Amino acid sequence: MRRPVLLTLVLAVAILLGAGGAALAFALSGNSSSSHNNASGGASHSPTAPATSAVTNNSVATSSSSNSSSNSSSTSSTTGTTSPSQPAASTSAPGSSAALPVLTVGSYNGMNPSQIDFSGDSGNVVTGITWASWTTAAATGSGKSDIDSCVPSCAQAPPDFVTANLVLSDPVNGRFTLITETRNGSTATFTYPNSWPNGAS
């Protein structure tokens, strides 16, 4: 009877020792893993949050500064493009053709006539006039005029064309009042209204 009882006691002690050892090992392994997790978790979480916030703040600051600089540059470029265009429109008005004086002779009233009749008997008619300039102060041009040599007689003399240079000047109330004609080495002046050409076209 003693051997079965003794074996039972030995088995019971062995089972208790085995269960206790397993529980102790499990407890020890759980504590070490939790302490390891706590240590690693504390090291991983604490520096990450400030780094993320710092990166976010830096990116926001960078984007804000770039937006402000682009806005200022666009504002300056807009200001730079609008200001120079202001004086351009005002500079074109003084050179308009409406401000130029005209030539008024008989029924003719205009600029750049191709013919001026200085005498009524065809003794001084300048034709084919071309104008080199026509400004607010004077106009210059040249054409051809017939000089009567009256050889062998005034009626039978062939036409003798010479160059006639013309200068219109002294504008008053928008029209020239003085014409200077130079032809065949002599100069004649015609003043409005006393000695003025008979016609023009």
Mind listing the pLDDT tens digit for each residue in 27-74? 666 554 444 444 444 444 444 444 444 444 444 444 444 444 444 444
Longest dimension (CA), the chain: 190
Burial class (CB in 10 A: 0-12, 13-18, 19+), 15: exposed
For tokens 């030995």, name the residue.
10
Mean pLDDT of 67-83: 44
Extract the tokens encoding 47: 């520096």
Q: Which two tokens stand for residue 106?
A: 């008989």
Whole-angstrom distance, CA of residue 99 vs CA of residue 90? 15
Res 8: pLDDT: 78
Does pLDDT of 93 surpass 90? no
pLDDT in tens, 113-161: 999 998 877 778 999 999 999 999 999 999 999 887 677 776 677 778 8
Q: Identify the band that residue 19 occupies on the pLDDT scale cut at 50, 70 and 90.
A: low
Amino acid letter at 40?
S
- Predicted structure pTM score: 0.50
Task: Indicate if the pLDDT at residue 20 is higher than 50.
Answer: yes
Q: How far is CA 74 from the centre of its chain?
A: 15
